[in-house]
């Protein structure tokens, strides 16, 4: 493979046009994206066509836009798209199929979803002057029914995303276990579960576990929350990575993974399983691992000469540009039928005292880096990090729009990445380039 350049970003929630922007901080960023052979993004919404049918289970909130938002990302230079994430099922499987069709009509390379599990697992391919690139996409977080199912001889599959299911269990001490067993028994739930097991409706309890409120509890010396990736899903994804490696020059593995310590979904501390998962994907043949999901930055690692981005946070975060929400979203926040999307944004972003809450309250959700990677053959040779701001304090009509950060904010972003990546043996030297800064990585 010739020298290949690769850029990647995290979550793209696009609801407004961008190509009208002329600021140098924006156009300079676009030039970096367009200058890469392979430019990846996570497309975190759907583009359903009429009839639009919202799902009652969703990524909270339901995210949709017109399909021209795909054109905006392609105009910026992105040419490789993940479609597997927790918003894939926001408008039922029909909305997801409509989104796949929109990518197909444009001839854009995507992965992570399909009309059945085989299609969802399989790679998307991109032809570049530097060689053929492949993408495999998957998600650990998704709403019920939005993951794809395989085809049988006597039954078609189900459209959806490529899942990496995560089993959860809980360790509690003897006193807590005794209390759970007592509650289970006295409420009559234990007897009901036993009858349902005998009828073949409910699965047997795992050895040594108490199934309580649909969760598995184990006795132990203390307390622990454990998360385990499905061995079957891991094997399946790795098999497809191997297939992609045999069919292309450069393989990107994309994983949408909110999972954090103790089950938290949007925090800096990633789940314990994630490094092992990323390493196994690279061992299977991936040349880059791109994580996203928690809407903020997590560490960067270089494993066996391959970049590992545990989360690249948000890149386009135009939540307030969603034009319509289903009735359940309004009801969830105590709003009546006559309320509007602006009312919805008001109650989501401020508490009763007027203080900012949720995403607009934290700079970390509006800061990221644009990594520019240069590969020599199959090995990472250079990696620069360009800090990007999403303008948290801007009015809603501009909040969430990305551009290169100025020196002060850019230095703070790079210092954060430097500090969290240091335990993974990645060093970030901050250099001044004109009126901006860039992170020069070594490992």
pLDDT of residue 264: 85
pLDDT class of 205 with cuts at 50, 70, 90: confident
Instruction: Give the ranges where 209-320 is alpha helix by DSSP (H).
Output: 231-247, 274-284
Percent of the chain having pLDDT more than 90? Answer: 95
Q: What does DSSP say about strands 379-389 and 367-376: parallel, antiparallel, or unpaired?
A: antiparallel
The C-alpha atoms of residue 15 and residue 345 are separated, in whole angstroms, by 14
pLDDT at 81: 99
pLDDT digits (tens, 9 = 90+) for 15-33: 999 999 999 999 999 999 9
| Mean pLDDT of the region 283-307 | 98
Q: What share of the chain is helix, strand, coil (3-state, %, to 5)?
A: 30, 30, 40
Considering the segment(s) 4-152+230-442 as one domain, its CATH architecture is 4-Layer Sandwich (3.60)
What are the backbone angles phi and psi of residue 297, rounded to the nearest 5°?
-75, 140
pLDDT at position 1:
65
In the chain, domain spans: 4-152+230-442, 166-227
What's the confidence (pLDDT) of residue 263?
Answer: 84
pLDDT at 386: 98
pLDDT digits (tens, 9 = 90+) for 321-376: 999 999 999 999 999 999 999 999 999 999 999 999 999 999 999 999 999 999 99
């Amino acid at each position: 493979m010739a020298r290949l350049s690769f850029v990647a970003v995290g979550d793209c929630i696009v609801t407004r046009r961008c190509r009208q922007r002329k600021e140098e901080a924006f156009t300079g960023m676009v030039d970096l994206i367009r200058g890469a052979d392979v430019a990846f993004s996570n497309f975190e919404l759907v583009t359903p066509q009429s009839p639009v049918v919202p799902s009652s289970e969703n990524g909270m909130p339901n995210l949709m836009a017109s399909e021209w938002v795909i054109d905006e990302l392609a105009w910026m230079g992105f040419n490789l798209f993940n479609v597997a994430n927790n918003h894939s099922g926001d408008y039922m499987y029909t909305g997801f199929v409509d989104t796949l069709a929109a990518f197909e009509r444009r001839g854009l390379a995507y992965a992570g979803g399909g009309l059945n599990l085989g299609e969802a697992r399989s790679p998307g391919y991109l032809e570049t002057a530097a060689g053929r690139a492949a993408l495999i996409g998957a998600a650990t977080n998704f709403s019920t029914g939005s993951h794809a199912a395989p085809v049988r001889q006597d039954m078609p599959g189900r459209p959806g995303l490529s899942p990496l299911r995560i089993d959860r269990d809980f360790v509690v001490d003897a006193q807590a276990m005794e209390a759970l067993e007592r509650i289970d028994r006295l409420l009559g739930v234990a007897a009901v579960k036993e009858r349902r097991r005998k009828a073949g409706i409910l699965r047997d309890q795992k050895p040594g576990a108490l199934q309580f409120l649909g969760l598995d509890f184990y006795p132990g010396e203390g307390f622990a929350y454990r998360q385990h990736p499905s061995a079957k899903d891991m094997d399946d994804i790795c098999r497809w990575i191997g297939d992609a490696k045999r069919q292309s020059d450069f393989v990107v593995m994309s994983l949408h993974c909110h999972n954090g310590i103790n089950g938290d979904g949007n925090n800096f501390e990633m789940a314990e399983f994630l490094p092992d998962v990323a390493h196994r994907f690279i061992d299977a043949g991936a040349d880059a691992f791109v994580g996203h999901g928690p809407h903020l930055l997590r560490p960067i690692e270089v494993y066996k000469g391959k970049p590992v981005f545990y989360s690249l946070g948000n890149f386009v975060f135009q939540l307030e540009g969603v034009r319509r929400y289903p009735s359940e979203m309004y009801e969830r926040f105590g709003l009546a039928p006559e309320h509007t999307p602006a009312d919805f944004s008001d109650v989501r972003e401020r508490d009763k005292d007027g203080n900012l809450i949720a995403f607009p309250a934290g700079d970390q959700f509006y800061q990221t880096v644009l990594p520019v990677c240069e590969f020599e053959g199959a090995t990472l040779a250079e990696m620069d990090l360009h800090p990007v701001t999403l303008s948290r304090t801007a009015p809603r009509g501009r909040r969430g729009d990305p551009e290169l950060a100025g020196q002060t904010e850019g230095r703070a972003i790079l210092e954060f990445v430097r500090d969290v990546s240091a335990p993974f043996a990645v060093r970030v030297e901050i250099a001044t380039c004109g009126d901006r800064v860039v992170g020069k990585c070594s490992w």
